[in-house]
Structure 1
């Protein structure tokens, strides 16, 4: 395929998969349950945090988390007492357990007490065409409270070599202005041009087959290579191609 043919092909796949039908089988349905900005931020962040493994289980456990929080995540985060946190005692998703969940609730409360919202925390360290330093600095801020060392693994750090798939996906949800109505686009300070593709085994394999990625590992270096090539296709909205790569990989077995 020529570069022009590749762009046309992927643009068509974005149109095919970036539709409201996508929401029904994706964790993005969790933040779509809410209308208040803070509820959307928190629901999206928690759902993205546990978004690895079986998609049905991810969605099921994300709904459980929302139910535990009385389907009012911001109110729960800001006003919970220790007795309310006991409701999380049986929560587990793969290696994310009750202790991790409690830490995340307390860390979110700490963030909101010291910042207007989560958007402002990410915006502080935004760079031209990159959110990767912003993610790394967010992680430092998030874990300012006392916590178990093991809990840190649930937020990846791009500056330690991670592709940080889940948090890049979260940023896509929050930042990308989506005419199709899938991504929520409630943040206005961060440009879509700075977003990175949520690189995982599916999108990585498809990207290699299409010549968008040569590096074998799905790490930070691979993400930089993929982002660079996707920005050649659309400098303003490169992360839209996540729909094409993911759809080709998961739904078509490309």
Structure 2
């Protein structure tokens, strides 16, 4: 690709990609993906301008528009860019939006047209297990609704930026602490999240008792 990926895409000569593959994605899929990126650059100038054109206050509706406009004819890319159905939590879509919208030491924050409170948590297996364990969702499998319920719970801690906790929960609690999604005796000493939540619950109980007395 050379020093400028955007120039490589704009030229449209993807012969250098022959033989590349990534997990379940074959060479044809990789070339298809770069073809879609070229279409985006040709039509809109950038991915951000394309997203801004389709965003009307709801990120899921925006993703539907992008999917219909650019990806419906590329079945090989369905694994990376699934249709926004109720059964799919759209982890990759939502993770990309987190990178592009939030701005801190982790996320780039290049887009300013989507408010951070509109983002939905990128629901992977770790966040789902944690959400089930602490009661943020009672659903039996990851889904869009489960992602929305967990996001709503996180809004209780940070209404304007609920995804500020996503990296910590996934990497420190989920991966780092090895959360199994089930409360066990050792969780009381190992899980920083559970300790904080239990402390908040005790404080709430104390306030209720004082109000009742």
TM-score by length of 2: 0.77
Q: Deviations over 1:6-39 (max 9, x none)?
A: xxxxxxxxxxxxxxxxxxxxxxxxxxxxxxxxxx
Give the drift of 1:253: 0.7
Give the drift of 1:126: 2.8
Higher relative contact order (CA 8 A, sep 6+): 1
Match of 2:95 among 140, 144, 169: 169
Match of 2:9 among 59, 77, 92: 77
**1:1-254 equivalences in 2 (<5 Å):** 69-81=1-13, 85-128=14-57, 130-143=58-71, 147-178=73-104, 181-247=105-171, 248-254=173-179
Tell whether the 8 Å contact from 2:12 to 2:35 is kept in structure 1 after alignment: no
Q: Deviations over 1:139-170 (max 9, x none)?
A: 122226xx542333320222353101011101
Tell whether the 8 Å contact from 2:130 to 2:174 is kept in structure 1 after alignment: yes
Q: Which residue of 2 aligns with 1:62?
A: none
CA distance in 1, matches of 2:76, 2:119: 27
Tell whether the 8 Å contact from 2:86 to 2:145 is kept in structure 1 after alignment: no
CA distance in 2, matches of 1:80, 1:134: 26
Q: Deviations over 1:84-128 (max 9, x none)?
A: x22222111111121111111111111111113211222233344
Measured on the aligned residues, the alpha-carbon RMSD in Å equals: 1.7
The gaps in structure 1 that reach 5 residues or longer are 1-68
**CA distance 1:71–1:108, change in 2 (3 Å):** same
CA distance in 1, matches of 2:33, 2:107: 23
TM-score by length of 1: 0.65
Runs of 4+ in 1 over 6 A off after TM superposition: none
Q: Helix, strand or coil: the match of 2:79?
A: helix
The gaps in structure 2 that reach 5 residues or longer are 180-213
Q: What is the total number of aligned residue pairs between the two structures?
A: 178
Q: Which residue of 2 aligns with 1:30?
A: none
Tell whether the 8 Å contact from 2:117 to 2:161 is kept in structure 1 after alignment: yes
Tell whether the 8 Å contact from 2:121 to 2:148 is kept in structure 1 after alignment: no
CA distance in 2, matches of 1:249, 1:156: 25
**CA distance 1:243–1:232, change in 2 (3 Å):** same
